Homo-oligomer: A and B are copies of this chain.
């Protein structure tokens, strides 16, 4: 690797002059045009590229940020991780920043990631968190980092760490509103039986209530998780009885898809007879026939906002929490 002093020696001037010319840091003075030309030419000829490490050491800025992502972010195959990563990468590229990616799940793994990032390789950290993790523990560790940290989690994990949030209550109400707007009168709520589901359920219920409807207990189907295989038996049982419901809100796209397949096999037309709304708006939505309507958690937008927020934090501005609202993406499994 050719260095500044290589260029300087070749040109016959000092390294600092080369540095100043190459970086355009001549202040209010300037170099002889002849000199400038020669430096530029020589630097190019020698294939000089500045050593980012050396620069970072002296300037204390790295033009790089670390992103901590939970392994298996989102349901497997949801495409959430890919969506988040590519949105982040795009945003960073636009800012001329580099991306250091670290996967983690447990507090120990976060500690490793922090040890990698803290010292002096990045300017800040964007940490994506998930319900299944040990949030208090993770939050404590992140708070202790000397680096600026922004989190991406449903709600703020700490007053001091700006968070880009998304209320699961809103996800539930978004699904309900979408179904009602599409003409549903009695939707069923598929319950994945976790904390997320609880909040979504409350949103779902509230939205129905706003329209003067109530969610009957028998219209909450508890599935005990996100396994698409758990749905068909439950669904078939419900179909054997005289269905008194006309819509289905699923906690994931694969579950929605599972419902779609089972219904169509039974000869039930979607969305004419039953309407379906998934959650996450992942790539799967585009592959089904009809294509799956879904509630998007706005992951790409949240990621981008996370990066922007982090930049401002790094720049020393004081920034607060943000919360995005989920968005309904209408496709073929809901009527228009």
Contacts and interface: CB of A to CB of B under 8 A. Distances in A.
Interface of A: 1, 49-54, 56-57, 62, 64, 71, 76-77, 79, 81-82, 85-86, 89-90, 93, 98-103, 112, 115-116, 118-121, 146, 228, 254, 257-258, 261-262, 264-265, 282-284, 286-289
A101 B258 CA distance: 35
Given A1-B119, A57-B54, A287-B257, A85 B85 contact: yes
A102 B99 contact: yes
Contacts of A118: 1, 49
A101 B82 CA distance: 12
A160 B182 CA distance: 60
B93 A103 contact: yes
Q: Choose among A93, A102, A264 the residue with the greatest number of B CB atoms under 10 Å from its CB.
A: A93
Contacts of A54: 57, 120
A148 B116 CA distance: 22
Contacts of A56: 53
Given A1-B118, A261-B289, 9 more contacts: A49-B115, A76-B283, A77-B79, A77-B284, A82-B82, A82-B85, A89-B102, A258-B289, A265-B289
